[in-house]
Structure 1
Amino acid sequence: MGSRLTAEQADFVAAIRDFAKRECGTREQRDALTAGGREAHDAGLYGRLADLGWLGVCLPEAYGGSGGGLADACLFLEETSYGMVPAGGFVTTVIAAKAYERFGTERQRHDVLSGAVRGDVLSIAMSEPGAGSDVGALRCQARREADGTWAIDGQKTWISNAHCAEYILLVARTGEDKHGGLTMFHLPAGTAGVQTRRIDTMGGREVNDVFLTDVRLPADAVVGQVDHGWRQLMAGLDHERLFLAANMLGLARRAFDDAVGYVREREQFGRPVGSFQALRHRIADLATEIECTRLLVREVALDCDAQPDKPFPREASMAKLKATEIAKRAALEGMQMMGGYGYTTEFDMERHLRAAVISTVYGGTSEIQRDVIGKTYGL
């Protein structure tokens, strides 16, 4: 695909842009849908995306999806992000859904994937107060009882969309080995003993603490194999990083376009501020970097689709690193070019910055991505 789209993909992109313009094209519409920018997900709007069949863009047709590839999902993520569509639940949903598709039982796939196509939100619970980048250090304990059922106790934190999720893909410790003792579990969000508490962050509430107190799950709640959770997580990391990259690519493009629109109109010293070389060169540099990022993200998506059984750790980490860092830079540069107006809630730039800054932390920090890339070169 690179810089080119198929006719079907071009139509898909055009349809998403039209939807975004109609449903959330004005600041007033976006404020109404997001409680003034504090919420990243609107269930009603998400339901309309489901009605259009878009939420199953890369899920199998057998479960109601469109059967598309990762490249199609990336286009959806990029364009909804660019259009500021409050569909924040889709990122964790598509990441978790792909894990169920690879490792879940037929019953799990039917319930979860079909639900995701209809508009259910999925969440993934890995991080803990003492285990972030080092997932192998997690301590949330799952004990197998004599009757084969599971008893789970522990705390998860920074769990995106747990407050609006139908199902949570839970990673818990089932053995002593650091990496060989982890297991994935299928956890319906309303299960007794599960308590979710939202965490206030920079103007938004998208992440949560999840407390698990004597939670009981049936024997068939295991997703994949017992003690194979680490391997299963590693198998899905490329997809996770790619999806996050596509999401931030859309934000980078939006921050850039908002900045360009401002500097074209804002006049000082009798002319638009964008006509001054200092800003014109900033715009040129950002445009070039964003275009490079767009090509990288789309080529990695195509490679993953072309060779679904091959891992792409270097390329996926490069895409995640590049896209999140350029999104942060675009928002920071945009705020600087807009001057004081960039800091006001009257304009969207401050929202762009809040969303971009955290993207270099979640899903593996920029430092972790650089470490992964370096290791692929034998360093």
Structure 2
Amino acid sequence: MHARTPEQTAFADSIDAFCRARSGTRAQRDALTQNGTEAHNPALYVQMAELGWLGVGISSKYGGSDGGMSDICLFAERIAYGLAPVGGYVTTVVAAGPYAKFGTEAQREKILGGITRGRVEAISISEPGAGSDAAAITCRATRTPGGFIINGQKTWCSNAHIADHLLLVARTNTSSSRHEGLTMFCVPTGTAGVEIRGIPTLNGKDVNDVYFTDCFLPESAVVGAVDQAWPQLMAGLNSERLILAATMLGRGRRAFDDTVAYVKERKQFGRPIGSFQALKHRIADLATELDCCELLLYRVAAMADEAPERMLPREASMAKLKATETAKRVALEGVQMMGGYGYATEYDMESHLRATVISTVYGGTSEIQRDIIGKTFGL
């Protein structure tokens, strides 16, 4: 395990105790999630806000605690391990970055202050024709007196249905290159002309299509500089990848611990199945991989804390790639070692599998992460 400060150790212990008390049993989690159909429980989230946890990476000026990336990752890891149904946190903390770096003072007070009080935020980038190729965005923001008119469709927008605002990326200029002419906007989800429709998935209600039809946004909705969203997005990708890596490290560790508990208890041929070499060696390999993920993640998080303006494309992509692929492998191996029970909804393993499989797709697929890493070597 990586070294933690005494304060971080106490923080992690507090999160673990909270999760054991409020979401530690299957019955508690079912009650909080409408039997697993909802990924986010607002009341539980507000309780975390009241403890000051949601502002861990936010300036004290806006109600936060001035923590760094290592602290954010620690929180994301422990709530994922504790299976706390607060799925709104990841998009919220990722959205906080652009507002903190590029937003106006009014935007920071509204968005960052709201986050510390338990508000959920979301980011709207992907489109039907713009996924991994984010520069292919066509959702259009056309200038009009006093602001912009938005028309177009976004998709795979996580948490749009529970968010107060969408951090929208739209095209404001078609005469420049693909990576230019994009602008960020702060869009209240109740704005006229915004329609949010859920997309049914294996993981329940978490992603959405968002349609913009003659949606008017005032000039004050612009986040940062007009036509400069691409470099603003690039500045925040390190944070997103590290937070996703931390979340999957937590989920992977939970899947691992659930597997170990099962193979110690389950007996076949007169002894616990974990005592058979075939399973014992799998457990050893998974434990080693998870420790590698943890060391990589927190090393990169420390680098980000030491120099917040560094891009770290290679290191952040490595952390995201390693953590998500490892978590998926742990869950798949867990299903295999638990046999039919790993497939049954009676146990958590099948939900671990659903949660980890998609992690190698969102936030930049594993293939995209490998491509980014390769490019840093001049390939």
For normalisation by structure 2, the TM-score amounts to 0.99
CA deviations on 1:50-90 (whole Å, 9 max, x unpaired) are 01000000100000000000100000000000000011101
Question: Matches of residues 240-319 of structure 1 in structure 2 within 5 Å?
Answer: 240-319=240-319
> Which letter does structure 2 place at the counterpart of 1:363?
G
Counterpart-to-counterpart distance in 2, 1:201 and 1:186: 27
- In the other structure, the counterpart of 2:59 is 60
Cα distance between partner residues in 1 of 2:205 and 2:126: 17
SS in 2 for 1:364: coil
Name the counterpart of 1:173. Answer: 171
Q: Secondary structure at the match of 2:184?
A: strand
Aligned residue type for 2:169 = V
Residue pair 1:37, 1:351 contacting (<8 A) in 2 also:
no
Partner Cα distance (2:335, 2:221) in 1: 47
The 8 Å contact of residues 203 and 355 in structure 2, kept in 1 or not, is answered as: no
Cα shift at 1:201? 0.4
Tell me the residue number matched to 1:154: 152
> Residues 101-150 of structure 1, C-alpha deviation per residue, up to 9 Å, x if partnerless?
000000000100000000000000000011100011011000011x2311
Change in Cα spacing, 1:304 to 1:203, as seen in structure 2 (3 Å) is closer
Question: Which residues of 2 match residues 1-379 of structure 1 at below 5 A?
Answer: 3-145=2-144, 147-176=145-174, 177-379=177-379
How far the C-alpha of 1:35 sits from its partner, in A, is 1.6
Asked whether the 8 Å contact 2:185–2:222 carries over to 1, the reply is yes
Question: Residue by residue, what CA displacement relative to the aligned partner does 1:203-232 show, whole Å, maximum 9, x if unpaired?
Answer: 411000111111001011110001100010
Instruction: Quote how far apart the aligned CAs of 1:339 are.
Output: 0.2
Tell me whether 155-164 or 173-182 shows the greater mean CA deviation: 173-182
CA distance in 1, matches of 2:32, 2:247: 19
CA distance in 1, matches of 2:50, 2:110: 18
One-letter code of the match for 2:98? Answer: A
Q: Secondary structure at the match of 2:138?
A: coil
Alpha-carbon distance in 2 for matches of 1:357, 1:281: 23
CA distance in 1: counterparts of 2:309 and 2:351, whole angstroms = 38
Q: Partner letter of residue 340 of structure 2?
A: G
Task: State the alpha-carbon separation in 1 of the partners of residues 7 and 241 from structure 2.
Answer: 25
Give the TM-score of the pair, scaled to structure 1.
0.99
Question: How many Å separate the matches in 2 of 1:203 and 1:164?
Answer: 16
> Matched residues in 1 for 2:203 and 2:143: separation?
41
Q: How many residues are paired up?
A: 377
Note the residue ranges of structure 1 that are not aligned, 5 or more in a row: none
- Structure 2: how far apart are the matches of 1:81 and 1:277? 30
Q: Which amino acid aligns with 2:172?
A: T
Identity of aligned residues (%): 62
Give the match's secondary structure for 2:122. Answer: strand
Q: Which amino acid aligns with 1:141?
A: R
Q: Which amino acid aligns with 1:313?
A: P
CA distance in 1, matches of 2:324, 2:194: 32
